[in-house]
């Protein structure tokens, strides 16, 4: 017994406090929800499929998050071009070739297609308008799709190479969605630049190591014949199999350092009108350059950007390619590893991402029939995805150039003349072969005339000297005779 009934009073207080707790919690809950209007709460069945964007932008670009949804290149429509949608027409198709069993150093380019697609997610964030080229390739009227990947076996290189050729050829010979159209100045209809007289869609391939270009060129040959090649790479890739890899077997003889050698041997390349850019590799010896010459290539060393700049490089490329249809192959290691480290055989001293993009924009007006980017190995990339983003941005420039120049020409005109009509903003205009020959002849005639003039001046000078000498002698003789008689 506690004085003053202390125990009883204490128990009562505890009971009251226990009753107050749920009342207080309920009060807090009421206060927390007091400002909500339950009539505007989003019901659970609000999200409908297929999803329609709630906030469309001014240019029909939706507010859909760039990091959501299935990852396609630049969030393009996914079309199963080699499956159930094999009759669907298109103008430009992206296709992956996840092959890397032809590499000589670091593997991992089989994951390149997926990585490049991930790096491309922001390309259409603001609509996709290319300011320097003044074109939006995604809104140019072309039907551009992502066809997924070609099924490629990792167990048999010979079989995989055939899979890549067949898959690419299937897309290349698909009907186009858009007609070729008319010349922008004359209004006359354009004719295809292909040798089979058909208007073919363009195919942009995501590699994969560089071996994939051999089957791609075999496919291109079926529509365009021997093709001019613009090849950006730190390596030549024209090595003989005995030099690169030793060729222990027929299968091993075809790899990412020899595919251009084989392409030249098979007559797939237009010799003399193909060119490398960004070359900076070490060689087995001077014979490598002689073999490269025999394979039909000219070269631009990476270091030349310090002497002739991007304009000089663009000029050299355009003069080499001339008016022929072009295949464009880009090895990501053409870019310095400071900007694109995730590749199988990195070489320091390369071009910056900005420099390569500038050079690609300088190809505006060329008839690029198809293209690829290869040797992207995402496992070696930074957390910021520098390499895959650079690869996607490079392809954005290629796509923009394609969007500006149709694969057609006026009947009776060469491709270069048509290109100037389609693309007046070309950085450097490529001369025709006839103009080039005429320029050389004029230079030769000028040299001959100048040489003859110099010889004439020298002869005249000698005569003057001789005449002065004889005159002086005659004068001296006359003076001597006069002195004698005096």
pLDDT of residue 93: 98
Q: For residues 424 and 431, which has the higher predicted lDDT (pLDDT)?
A: 431
pLDDT average, residue stretch 441-465: 71
| Contact predicate 269/245, CB 8 Å | no
pLDDT of residue 161: 98
pLDDT average, residue stretch 191-197: 96
Q: For residues 169 and 64, which has the higher predicted lDDT (pLDDT)?
A: 169
pLDDT of residue 459: 66
Q: For residues 189 and 183, which has the higher predicted lDDT (pLDDT)?
A: 189
- The runs of H, that is alpha helices, within 339-379 are 353-361
Residue range 223-239, pLDDT digits in tens: 999 999 999 999 999 99
**Beta partners for 93?**
145, 203
Long-range (24+ apart) CB contacts under 8 A made by 18-22 are: none
Residue range 370-381, pLDDT digits in tens: 999 999 999 999
pLDDT average, residue stretch 248-258: 90
pLDDT average, residue stretch 235-258: 90
| Contact predicate 277/300, CB 8 Å | yes
206, two tokens: 């995501």
pLDDT of residue 1: 45
CA distance 192 to 170: 19
Torsion on CA atoms 362, 364, 367, 368, rounded to nearest 10: 60
pLDDT of residue 369: 98
pLDDT of residue 402: 97
pLDDT of residue 439: 66
Q: What contacts 193, CB < 8 A, 6 or more positions away?
A: 224, 325, 367, 369, 407, 408, 409, 415
| Contact predicate 323/416, CB 8 Å | yes
| Contact predicate 378/342, CB 8 Å | yes
For 260, counting Cβ atoms within 10 Å of its Cβ (0-12 exposed, 13-18 middle, 19+ buried), the class is buried
pLDDT of residue 440: 65
CA distance 115 to 392: 9
Q: What contacts 362, CB < 8 A, 6 or more positions away?
A: 310, 311, 313, 314, 317, 318, 426, 427, 428
**How much of the chain exceeds pLDDT 70, in percent?**
75
Pairing, β 408-410 against β 190-192? antiparallel
pLDDT average, residue stretch 257-268: 96
Q: Helix, strand, coil: what percent of the chain each, to 5?
A: 45, 15, 45
* Model confidence at 28: pLDDT above 60: no
pLDDT of residue 430: 41
| CA-to-CA dists, residue 148 to 65, 73, 327, 394, angstroms | 21, 9, 21, 19
| CA-to-CA dists, residue 17 to 11, 27, 60, angstroms | 10, 15, 61
Radius of gyration of the chain (CA): 35
- Crossing angle (nearest 10°) for helices 386-404 and 112-119: 80
For 450, counting Cβ atoms within 10 Å of its Cβ (0-12 exposed, 13-18 middle, 19+ buried), the class is exposed
Give me the chain's average pLDDT, please: 84
Q: What contacts 428, CB < 8 A, 6 or more positions away?
A: 311, 314, 315, 318, 362
* Distance linking the first and last C-alpha atoms of the chain: 177
* Model confidence at 86: pLDDT above 50: yes
pLDDT of residue 125: 83
Q: For residues 467 and 126, which has the higher predicted lDDT (pLDDT)?
A: 126
Residue range 29-58, pLDDT digits in tens: 444 455 555 556 555 555 555 555 555 555
Among candidate residues 93, 315, 119, the one with its CA nearest the CA of residue 219: 93
pLDDT average, residue stretch 129-138: 97
> Is the pTM for the entire model greater than 0.85?
no
* Model confidence at 246: pLDDT above 90: no
* Model confidence at 249: pLDDT above 90: no
* Model confidence at 61: pLDDT above 60: no
Report whether the peptide linkage leading into residue 112 is cis, meaning its omega lies within 30 degrees of zero.
no
| Contact predicate 405/193, CB 8 Å | no
* Model confidence at 365: pLDDT above 80: yes
Cα 176 off chain centre by: 22
Q: For residues 288 and 247, which has the higher predicted lDDT (pLDDT)?
A: 288
Report whether the peptide linkage leading into residue 240 is cis, meaning its omega lies within 30 degrees of zero.
no
């Amino acid at each position: 017994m506690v004085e003053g009934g202390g125990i009883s009073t204490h128990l009562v207080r505890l009971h009251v406090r226990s009753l107050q707790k749920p009342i207080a919690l309920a009060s807090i809950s009421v206060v927390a929800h007091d400002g909500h209007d339950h009539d505007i709460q989003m019901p659970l069945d609000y999200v409908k499929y297929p999803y329609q964007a709630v906030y469309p932008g001014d240019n029909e670009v939706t507010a859909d998050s760039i990091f959501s949804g299935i990852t396609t290149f630049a969030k393009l429509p996914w079309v199963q071009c080699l499956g159930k949608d094999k009759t669907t027409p298109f103008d430009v198709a992206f296709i992956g070739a996840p092959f890397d069993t032809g590499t000589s150093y670091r593997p991992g380019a089989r994951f390149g297609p997926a990585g490049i697609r991930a790096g491309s997610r922001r390309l259409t964030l603001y609509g996709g308008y290319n300011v320097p080229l003044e074109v939006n390739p995604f809104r140019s009227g072309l039907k551009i799709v992502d066809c997924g990947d070609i099924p490629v076996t990792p167990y048999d290189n010979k079989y995989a190479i055939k899979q890549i050729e067949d898959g690419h050829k299937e897309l290349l010979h698909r009907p186009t969605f858009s007609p070729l159209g008319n010349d922008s100045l004359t209004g006359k209809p354009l004719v295809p630049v292909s040798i089979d007289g058909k208007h073919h869609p363009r195919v942009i391939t995501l590699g994969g190591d560089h071996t994939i270009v051999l089957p791609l060129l075999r496919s291109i040959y079926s529509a365009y014949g021997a093709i001019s090649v613009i090849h950006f790479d730190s390596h030549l890739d024209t090595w003989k199999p005995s030099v690169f890899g030793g060729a222990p077997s027929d299968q091993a003889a075809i790899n990412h350092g020899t595919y251009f050698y084989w392409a030249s041997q098979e007559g797939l390349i237009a010799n003399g009108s193909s060119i490398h850019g960004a070359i900076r590799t070490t060689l087995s010896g001077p014979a490598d350059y002689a073999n490269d010459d025999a394979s039909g290539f000219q070269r631009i060393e990476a270091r030349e950007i310090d002497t002739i700049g991007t304009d000089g490089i663009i000029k050299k490329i355009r003069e080499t390619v001339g008016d022929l249809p072009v295949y464009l192959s880009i090895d990501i290691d053409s870019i310095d590893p400071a900007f694109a480290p995730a590749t199988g055989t990195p070489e320091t001293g390369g071009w910056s991402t900005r420099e390569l993009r500038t050079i690609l924009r300088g190809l505006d007006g060329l008839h690029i029939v198809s293209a690829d980017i290869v040797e992207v190995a995402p496992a070696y990339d930074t957390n910021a995805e520098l390499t895959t983003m650079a690869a996607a941005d490079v392809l954005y420039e290629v796509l923009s150039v394609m969007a500006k120049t149709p694969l057609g020409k006026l009947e009776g005109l060469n491709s270069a003349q048509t290109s100037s009509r389609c693309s007046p903003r070309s950085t450097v205009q490529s001369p025709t072969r006839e103009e080039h020959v005429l320029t050389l002849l004029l230079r030769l005639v000028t040299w001959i005339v100048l040489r003859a003039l110099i010889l004439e001046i020298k002869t005249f000078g000698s005569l003057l000297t001789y005449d002065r000498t004889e005159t002086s002698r005659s004068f001296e003789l006359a003076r001597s005779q006069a002195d004698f008689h005096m």
